[in-house]
Each structure stands twice: as C-alpha cells, then as structure tokens.
C-alpha cells in the first residue's frame, strides 16, 4: 500500500500573514501551525487589531474597537491601543465583529484526531452537491488506493435532500479513490464503487448493498476496522493536524475532551467509531504538540469504565497522574465523562465519587434524566460532607431535565452544569435538549454549553449557538420552545463560562488585559444577522495565544 507520510491539507502550512508595520484587511485563506510563542518558548509579535466591534465578554459585557496583543497576551483593550509605530503589525478589522475564542466544554475531538483515511468534515455542507465538492477537493492530495472519509458529526437532516450521497454520486465526486461515509457511532455507512470492491474482498468481507449502503452495527464496524488497521502513526498525526485546523477554522480555540468508550489493546472489527485505546489515543496529539505545531488548546479528562467496586484503574490514575498538568496548549484535566459507569447509581459509581473527592480532583458526570440528576446531586452532597468538594468544580453535563431546587443544591456545592445542544441534528419535541432558559434563570453560576461532538453532533459551535437561541433543529422544527436564550447569553456560555469548566477562566474566555490572546473575527455580525444565518457564520481570522492560526 502506498504511503507518503504527512500529506497536509491544501493551504495548511507556515506563512507570514501580515507585513510588518502595514495595516491589512482580513482576507485570504490559511490554517497555520502554532509558532513557538504558543508554547511559551518564544516572543510573539506585537499586533494591534483596530476598527472593529470587539465583544470582550468581560463582567460588564464591554464592546471596544481595538485590542493590543504582545507576547501572546492582551496588553491593551480599548482606547489606549496604538494604531502605528515601530515593530507594530496592524490588522484593520473594517468594522467586523470580534468575539473571544470559543471554548467547547464537552467534546470528543480526540476521536476526530484519530479518524482513518483522508478525512473530510462535511457537517457544514448544505446539500449533496456541496458534499461532492468537499470530497473532490480533498481527493487532490490523496495517494492512490487511500480512502477519502467523512465520519461522524453529521446527520442527513443537515442536508437539503435529507439523505447522504448515493454510490453513483460518490463515484461522480471521487471516481479514482475509495470513499467511505460513516454516520454516528456504528453507522450506517455509504461507499463508492472502489470502496465497495475493496470492502467486499477484505479479510473479513463487508456486505455492501448495490447502492453502496452498509448496514449499521456489525457491517459498518467491520468496514471501519479495515480502514483503521491501515493507519500508520504518521497518518494519525496528519489527522490530528487536520482536526486542529478544522477547529481553528470554526473559531473553536480550546476544548475539554471527554475521552471515549475505552477499548485498550488490539483493534477489533466489533469496535465502533467511539472506541479507542484510552491509553494511546492522545499519542498523535502529544507528538504534534511536541513538534511545536499545536494550534488549538486541549484539556483531557479521563473516563473510566470499570464496574468493579475496587476501581483499580481509577485509583491508579489518581495515584499516578497530576490534574491540570502541562502547558496552556495541552494539559491533563479531571475525571469525566464519568469515573465509573452508572450515571448516578450503582455501588461502583458511588465509590468512584468518594475516591475522586478524597483525591481532590475536579469531577464530571452526565445526567440523561431527572432521576439521574437527583441521584448525582445527592451523591455530591454526601461526598462533600465527608471530604469537601466546594472548591473542586464538580459538574453535571447534558441535563435535559432540571428543577430550581436541584440547581440550587448543586450551585451551593460550588458546582455547575454543561447544557447540551447535541439535539440540533436530529432532536424532536420529545427529545428536545436542555432547558437553557430555566437553567440561566435559576441563577446557577458558570452554566456552559456543549455540543458533545464529534460522533452524534457537529463540532462547529455556531450550530450550538443557533440551537440555543432559536430552539430549532436542523430541519427548522421548533423543538425547544420556551427555553431559548439571548445571543449574548449563549455566547457567554460558550466562552467565559466554559473557561471556568476548564479551570482556566483567569487565562481564556474573555478579551481582557493579561489574558491569553484568543479571539475570532467573524464574517458577519452574530448579534444582528437573521437568526437563520447564525449557523452560517464563519470566522475570517482565528488567533490563539497571539498567533494567527486561521485566516480566510
């Protein structure tokens, strides 16, 4: 099988975006690996961004027209920003809207970084023709015999035709490379003619229908297996760089990764897209970071799936790993999405809460029902009485059902919630997501938003902002009526509030003097465009730690 190692995405390379002393507009298209300053190893350029509407998300919700960035941090915000001078690079924003770097508080981006094949993120496509265009563009850099893939994060509801491309349509887009589209955790999937021929003749043959459809479950997982076993470590590094580049392109500058369903050991044809070896899944991200090429921030939680009340793996983790250890681009996080299975019940889950509290770690659990939320809050209260957790930021995620009393009890423990918007692709009135309005009105501090990408929902945060503001799913159906929140509230939840969940609110989440210079310049005004246009907003420039990591 032909390999040519690290083939980058088109336009993904180092370049000097700005000329010294010149005032330039926001234009062009590039995703740029981080410079030494992103790791704190060198001095960043001195850059002024002027003539914009810069929403700082500080405590006063200040809006200013200029900021100064020096050595990777904001050193001036507002009227005292210089407009010229020796060694100063000036970016003329030409009235554009600027927001802090967007932060994802519950995501599985490590899975995107491990995608097999030459991966394409198709979640922003509006129809089949745009999917075909994306696949064809990606094919340009793909060696013969290698797969072009698009896996997870999208749903047919997001496309005008409410379906995925047919085998014939995939052949028309990419006639000379195999293609595999893979939905959700375990399919269904769809392939083209070359992919069908390969998979049907594989060591474990995959059943592919005449139209290229591969059934969800056993057959789709087997198809995924045949692509995964072909991956080299250099392939994974390429996918990691691609994941970082895509994140920067949608304005997502920091993520709290919640791991996946752990499956240590060799690959198997029964494993789904959400199964990876949790001991090795970050290896490629660590390698890219060590190369100095990390361009977005990552914090890694640790999920444990052992139902043994002795909790051997969790206890070893707590004994041998430091929380919040690393640098501002890559660090360990806390325990989450859970320390043991159970979602609020079971002896192993309850014991996990005790040992996490005793170790003094931050902790996260998910509640998918009101009963689970009640059980989790009660357990948090019990371990607080025993060990004290009020300064540890224990949180509950998803929370589709709440009561003011439970939110008040959680807030009294120093905890908060992460509100799910993952119902956007396929939610219904009966499965409508979290009650945003009720949660904010309860007064619980630091409530954040998460998309829970990249398997069941998109990574692009503007879909989540759209859903929170409108209550409408990808079909345009109003499914969360009465729980809509304002645009400013939604953005605050996705920036400074989510920074709290990463224990980094003193460094990121708002545009303030002394904070790391993460910001996003938007192609239209988030605060005034028609609501339907929120999900079509795209960055024209993304900055992380004072470095321009994406420009369009």
The answer, yes or no, to whether residue 17 has pLDDT greater than 70, is: no
Q: What percent of the chain has pLDDT over 70?
A: 92
Rg (CA), the chain: 23
| The predicted structure's pLDDT at residue 430 | 86
What's the rounded Cα separation, in Å, for the pair 370 and 330?
Answer: 34
Question: Which residues on neighbouring strands pair with residue 473, listed in sequence order?
Answer: none
Average pLDDT, the chain: 92
pLDDT at 276 over 50: yes
Q: What gap in Å lies between CA 96 and CA 65, rounded to an integer?
A: 10
Confidence of residue 45 (pLDDT cuts 50, 70, 90): confident
99 pLDDT more than 80: yes
- Whether the pLDDT of residue 20 is over 50: the answer is no
Q: How far apart are CA 335 and CA 319, in angstroms?
A: 13
Confidence class of residue 44 from pLDDT cuts 50, 70 and 90? low
Residue 34 has pLDDT above 60, yes or no: no
pLDDT value of position 183: 97
Model pLDDT, residue 465:
98
The count of residues in the chain is 552
The pLDDT, as a whole number, for residue 15 is 33
* CA gap 262, 276 in Å, rounded: 6
State residue 431's pLDDT score.
Answer: 85
Q: Coil, helix or strand for 182?
A: strand
Task: Tell me the residue ranges of DSSP E strands in 258-394.
Answer: 261-262, 275-276, 297-302, 330-335, 364-367
Task: Classify residue 528 as left (phi > 0), alpha (psi -120 to 50) or beta.
Answer: alpha
Question: In the chain, what are the domain boundaries?
Answer: 117-228
* 254: pLDDT strictly greater than 80: yes
What is the separation, in whole angstroms, between the first and last Cα of the chain? Answer: 35
Please check whether residue 228 is in contact with residue 115, taking contact to mean a CB–CB distance below 8 angstroms. Answer: no
Q: Is the pLDDT of residue 39 over 80?
A: no
CB-based contacts of 463, cutoff 8 Å, min separation 6? 123, 421, 424, 451, 457, 474, 535
Whether the per-residue pLDDT at 22 is higher than 60: the answer is: no
> Which range, of 5-19, 144-158, 432-446, averages the lowest pLDDT?
5-19
**What is the structure's pLDDT at 32?**
44
pLDDT class of 484 with cuts at 50, 70, 90: very high
pTM of the model: 0.93
Quick one: CATH architecture of 117-228? Roll (3.10)
Q: 191 phi and psi, to 5 degrees? A: -130, 170
Q: What is the pLDDT of residues 53-87, one digit of tens each?
A: 999 999 999 999 999 999 999 999 999 999 999 99
The two structure tokens encoding residue 377? 């809050």
Nearest to 257 by CA among 168, 334, 314: 334
Residues 6+ apart with CB under 8 A from 534: 462, 465, 466, 469, 470, 487, 526
CA dihedral 255, 256, 258, 263 (to 10 degrees): 60
What is the number of other CB atoms lying within 10 angstroms of the CB of residue 318? 20
The mean pLDDT of 246-271, rounded to a whole number, is: 96
- In which residue are the tokens 């032909």 written? 2
Confidence band (pLDDT; 50, 70, 90) for 13? very low
pLDDT of residue 10: 29
pLDDT confidence of residue 30? 41
What pLDDT is stored for residue 290 in this prediction?
A: 98
What gap in Å lies between CA 224 and CA 238, rounded to an integer? 18
514 C-beta neighbours (distance < 10 Å), count: 10
Contact 247, 97 (CB under 8 A): no
The residue-averaged pLDDT of 420-433 equals: 91
Mark 179-196 as b/e (b = at least 16 C-beta within 10 Å): bbbbbbbbbbbbbbbbbb
pLDDT digits (tens, 9 = 90+) for 167-223: 999 999 999 999 999 999 999 999 999 999 999 999 999 999 999 999 999 999 999
Contact 477, 517 (CB under 8 A): no
Extract the tokens encoding 43. Answer: 């001095």
- Kindly indicate the confidence band of residue 433, based on its pLDDT and cuts at 50, 70 and 90: confident
């Amino acid at each position: 099988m032909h390999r040519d190692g690290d083939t980058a995405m088109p336009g993904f390379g180092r370049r000097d975006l700005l000329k010294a002393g010149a005032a330039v507009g926001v234009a062009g298209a590039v995703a740029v690996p981080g410079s030494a300053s992103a790791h704190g190893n060198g001095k960043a350029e001195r850059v002024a961004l002027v003539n914009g509407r810069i929403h700082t998300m500080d405590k006063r919700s200040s809006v200013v027209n200029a900021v100064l960035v020096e050595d990777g941090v904001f050193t001036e915000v507002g009227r005292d920003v210089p407009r010229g001078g020796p060694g100063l690079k000036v970016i003329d924003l030409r009235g554009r809207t600027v927001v802090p770097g967007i932060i994802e508080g519950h995501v599985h981006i490590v899975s995107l970084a491990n995608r097999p094949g030459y991966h394409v993120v198709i979640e922003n496509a509006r129809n089949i023709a745009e999917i075909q265009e994306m696949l064809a563009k990606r094919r340009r850099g793909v060696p013969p015999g290698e797969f072009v893939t698009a896996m997870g994060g999208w749903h047919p509801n997001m496309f005008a035709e409410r379906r995925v491309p047919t085998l014939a349509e995939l052949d028309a887009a990419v006639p000379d490379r195999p293609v595999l589209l893979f939905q959700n955790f375990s399919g269904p999937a769809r392939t083209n003619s070359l992919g069908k021929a390969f998979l049907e003749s594989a060591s474990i043959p995959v059943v592919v229908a005449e139209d290229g459809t591969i059934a969800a479950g056993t057959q789709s997982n087997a198809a995924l297996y045949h692509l995964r076993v072909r991956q080299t470590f250099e392939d994974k590094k390429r996918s990691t760089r691609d994941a970082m580049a895509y994140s920067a392109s949608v304005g997502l500058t920091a993520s709290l990764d919640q791991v996946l369903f752990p499956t240590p050991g060799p690959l198997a044809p029964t494993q789904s897209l959400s199964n990876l070896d949790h001991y090795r899944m970050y290896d490629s991200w660590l390698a890219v970071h060590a190369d100095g090429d990390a361009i977005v921030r990552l914090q890694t939680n640790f999920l444990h799936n052992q139902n043994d009340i002795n909790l051997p793996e969790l206890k070893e983790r707590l004994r041998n790993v430091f929380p919040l250890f690393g640098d501002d681009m890559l660090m360990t996080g806390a325990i989450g999405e859970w320390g043991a299975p159970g979602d609020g019940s079971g002896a192993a889950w309850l014991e996990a809460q005790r040992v996490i509290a005793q170790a003094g770690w931050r902790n996260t659990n998910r509640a998918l029902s009101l009963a689970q939320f009640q059980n989790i809050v009660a357990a948090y209260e019990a371990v607080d009485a025993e060990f004290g957790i009020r300064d540890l930021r224990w949180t509950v995620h998803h929370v589709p059902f709440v009561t003011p009393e439970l939110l008040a009890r959680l807030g009294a423990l120093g905890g908060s919630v992460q509100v799910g918007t993952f119902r956007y692709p396929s939610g219904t009135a009966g499965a409508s997501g979290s009650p945003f309005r009720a949660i904010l009105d309860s007064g619980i501090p630091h409530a954040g938003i998460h998309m829970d990408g990249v398997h069941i929902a998109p990574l692009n945060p503007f879909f989540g902002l759209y859903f929170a503001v409108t209550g409408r799913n990808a079909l345009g159906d109003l499914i969360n009526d009465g729980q809509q929140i304002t645009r400013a509230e939604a953005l605050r939840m996705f920036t400074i509030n989510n920074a709290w969940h990463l224990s980094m609110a003193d460094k990121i989440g708002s545009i303030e003097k002394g904070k790391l210079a993460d910001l996003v310049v938007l192609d239209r005004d988030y605060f005034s465009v028609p609501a339907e246009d929120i999900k079509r907003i795209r960055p024209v420039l993304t900055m992380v730690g004072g470095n321009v990591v994406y420009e369009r």
